[in-house]
Amino acid sequence: MNKLLDRFLRYVKVDTQSDDRTGLEPSTLSQMAFAKTLAEELRTIGLSDVNVSEYGYVTATIPATDDSVQQVVGFIAHMDTSPDFTAHNVNPRVINNYDGKDITLNDSLGIVMTTEDTPELLKYVGQDLVVTDGTTLLGADDKAGIAEIITASEYLINNPQIKHGKIRICFTPDEEIGQGADNFDVKGFGADFAYTFDGGEVGEFEYETFNAASAKIVFKGFNVHPGYGYGKMRNSMRIASSYIQMLPRHETPEHSKGHEGFYHLISMSGSVEKTEISFIIRDFKRDRFEDRKNELVHLVNKVNSEFGDGTAEITLSDQYFNMREKIEPKMYIVDYVKQAISDCGMEPKIVPVRGGTDGSRLSFMGLPTPNIFAGGVNFHSKFEFVPVQSMQKAVEVIVRICELVK
C-alpha cells in the first residue's frame, strides 16, 4: 500500500489541468510532460511497447503469462485534472485512522470539511484519507486511477505466476474538457474491451451514461427608441425568456436524479436586438433523448409562428451516447467486473453515470469501455478526498479481472 500511496501523492503534486481555450493537443504542456514521466516509470517497472503519442497518449503492454487467453483487456485513466477549481500547488495531507469528526483542512483560512456537508465521510471511519489543504482540488479524479493501474501493473510484472493474457494500458489527456477520446487510436491500442478507472466510491461500477447533446438558440429582435416602440419593438430577451418558460420547469438538474433526464440552461446573453441561449440535453433512453431535442425544435417553430420566420434559429450538436447500447451485446464484460468486485470482498454497486466518460465515446469507436471506481469523493473541489483503502481495493480488482479474462 505504501507504493500506491507514494505514487498518488507524487502524481497529485503535478499540475495537469486541461484548458479548452488553448487549441493545443494535449491542451496543456504540463500534460505532455507528465505523460513522459509516466512512460519512463512504466519502462522502469518492466512494461513493454511503452509509447507517448504526439497527442500525449501513453500506451504500454503487460505481456501475457498464459498464451491460451484469447482476449486482450485494456485499462485506462486520464491524466488531466478539472479546470473547475485550481490545481496549482496541490498540498495533500494523509489523515490516518479517521475518527469520524469534522476535518479542518486549513486552520488559518477557516476551511473545514464537515460531516454534515459531506456525510460520505462517515463511511470511512478508521480508514486513511488523503485530503487537500483547502486551497486546491486534490486530483484523485483521475490520478487515483493512474496510481491504481500502475501499481497493479507492477504487481503483475513482479508475480509472473499469476496467469493472464496480454494487457494494454493507456493514460489519456483532456478528458475533463471532453476531448479525451479525440485522438485515441482504438485499432493501435489493440484491446478487445477496456475499463476506465475514474471516479466513484469503492465498489461502484458503471456501464450506463447519459445520451448528451448541446443546443444554441439565437433570437433576433428589433430595436427602436423605447418611447416610440409601440407596434414596432421586438425584444429578443423577452422572447428568449418566454421560450425558456415553455420548457418543463421540473426537468432540470436540480429536480432530477437516477435515470431521469433534463434540460439545462447553461448560458444566456443578449440585448433587445439579439439574444443567445445555450442548453445541454441529457437522458439515458435514446427515444426520450430524441424527444427532448425535438421539443426544443418544436418550441423554436412555435416562436417563429408567433413572431415571424427567422426570429429564432437553433443549432443542435450530439456530444456522446449511452455506452450501454454498445456494452449490452457483450455483457460478459460486465460479468467480469461483478465477479472481480465480489471476489475482492465487496458488494458490486451498479449505478448510472449522470454524465459521460471517455468510455462513452470509446464504446462507440469500437472499444467497449465501462467504468470502475477509483475511490474518490467530492471531485473538482477543495473538499475532494480519497480513502487509501479504496484505492487498494481498486488495485485488487484490476488484478482479479486480469485473472478472470479468458
Kindly state the cell numbers that stand for 224. 427602436
* Mean pLDDT in order along the chain per 10 residues (406 residues): 93 96 96 98 98 98 97 98 95 98 98 97 98 98 98 98 98 94 97 95 95 96 95 96 97 95 96 97 97 98 97 95 95 98 97 87 96 96 98 98 97
pLDDT at 122: 98
Q: What is the pLDDT of residues 103-115, one digit of tens each?
A: 999 999 999 999 9
pLDDT reported for residue 404: 98
CA dist., res. 316 & res. 293, Å (int): 8
pLDDT, residue 99, reads 98
Integer Cα distance of 249 and 242 in angstroms: 12
CA-to-CA separations, 353 to 108, 225, 261, 325, in angstroms, rounded? 37, 51, 12, 14
CATH of domain 2-208+322-404: 3.40.630.10
**Segment 259-276, tens digit of pLDDT:** 999 999 999 999 999 999
User: 202: closest CA among 6, 11, 392?
Assistant: 392
Provide DSSP, 267-289. EEEE-SSEEEEEEEEEESSHHHH
**Catalytic residue ranges:** 80, 175
Distance between CA atoms of residues 176 and 149, nearest Å: 19
Residue 41 grid coordinates: 516509470
Whether 45 contacts 149, CB under 8 Å: no
pLDDT of residue 1: 62
The structure's pTM equals 0.89
Q: Which CATH class is domain 211-320?
A: alpha beta
Q: Report domain extents, the chain.
A: 2-208+322-404, 211-320
Answer yes or no: are the C-beta atoms of 174 and 32 closer than 8 Å: no
One-letter amino acid for residue 395 of the chain: V
